[in-house]
Amino acid sequence: MATEASTQSYSEQWYWDERYTNESEPFDWYQKYSSLAPLINLYAPHRNHPVLVIGCGNSAFSEGMVDDGYEDVVSIDISSVVIDSMIKKYSDRPQLKYLEMDVRDMKAFEDASFDAVIDKGTLDSILCGSNSRQYSTQMLEEVWRVLKDKGVYILITYGAPIYRLRLFNESCSWTTKLHVIDKSLTDQPLEPPKWELTQPIPLDAEGSSVESAIGTSPDVHYIYVCTKDESLKTDADAV
């Protein structure tokens, strides 16, 4: 189990270099691709358009996307150790590209480069560390920049709306939908999930509507689908 000291290091490159030096087995934070595929397919339907996976680690998520027909999946991580390993591992899969990069500074990518940006735990890791508000804002602004207009930032997180919506609202101009998935969902669940993954949960501006829909302390991961909307930014600038 992660200690408070270790979680505070989640935003530091040295922590992940050390971790991936000692852990070579693939690990997926929160959910595997097979569990999330219906939602990814819904919001990123064009399999020949570029998709960015941030904080990829040694996850098999990007591989799952390519196996599902996506043709251009770019994955980045702050750890040179894990990126070097993934480049070697997938040297025969040209649809998979791995780059060492800090998500707070993605100047290697031009504006409006991607249809979708997928985040499983990267924002959460930044929020665990020092200067979390500054760094999370930098990250979200960079994600917004590299997305095409009407592109989607898909965030899988443990963070409830009362904690995450404010970050979105203070960073950039998004329209946000919320989905949830059972934390216990596996590749072959023994019973039907409580929540229909592809059906959004009612979401008001503060997130207080969610409790009435799914109850208090639900055992779920929250999935925010934030659509970049440049018209909102134009409207805000005009005020």
Number of Cβ within a 10 Å radius of residue 39: 18
Q: Which of 13-17, 43-47, 140-144, 208-212 has the least mean pLDDT?
A: 13-17
Helices assigned H by DSSP within 68-131: 80-89, 122-128
Q: Which helix (H) or strand (E) holds 152?
A: strand 147-157
Confidence of residue 215 (pLDDT cuts 50, 70, 90): confident
Confidence of residue 32 (pLDDT cuts 50, 70, 90): very high
The answer to the question of residue 169 being in a domain is yes
- Nearest-angstrom CA–CA distance, 13 and 143: 19
**227 φ, ψ to 5°?**
-95, 125
Write down the pTM of the prediction.
Answer: 0.90
The answer to the question of residue 2 being in a domain is no
Q: Which residues pair with 178 in a beta bridge?
A: 201, 224
- In the predicted model, what is the mean pLDDT of residues 215-239? 82
Confidence of residue 24 (pLDDT cuts 50, 70, 90): confident
The total number of structural domains that make up the chain: 1
For tokens 């946000």, the residue is 176
The answer to the question of residue 23 being in a domain is no
The answer to the question of residue 12 being in a domain is no
Confidence of residue 1 (pLDDT cuts 50, 70, 90): very low
The answer to the question of residue 14 being in a domain is no
What percentage of the chain exceeds 90 in pLDDT? 67
- Nearest-angstrom CA–CA distance, 177 and 227: 8
Query: What's the pLDDT score for residue 207?
Result: 86
Query: What's the pLDDT score for residue 165?
Result: 93
Query: What's the pLDDT score for residue 98?
Result: 98
The answer to the question of residue 20 being in a domain is no
- Nearest-angstrom CA–CA distance, 91 and 82: 14
Q: Which domain holds residue 217?
A: 28-183+193-232
The answer to the question of residue 8 being in a domain is no
* CATH number of the domain within which 34 lies: 3.40.50.150
Mean pLDDT of the chain: 89
Closest CA to 225 of 11, 86, 39, 30: 39
Query: What's the pLDDT score for residue 184?
Result: 76
* Per-residue pLDDT reduced to its tens digit, 168-203: 988 899 999 999 999 876 555 556 777 899 999 999
- In the predicted model, what is the mean pLDDT of residues 191-218? 86
The answer to the question of residue 111 being in a domain is yes
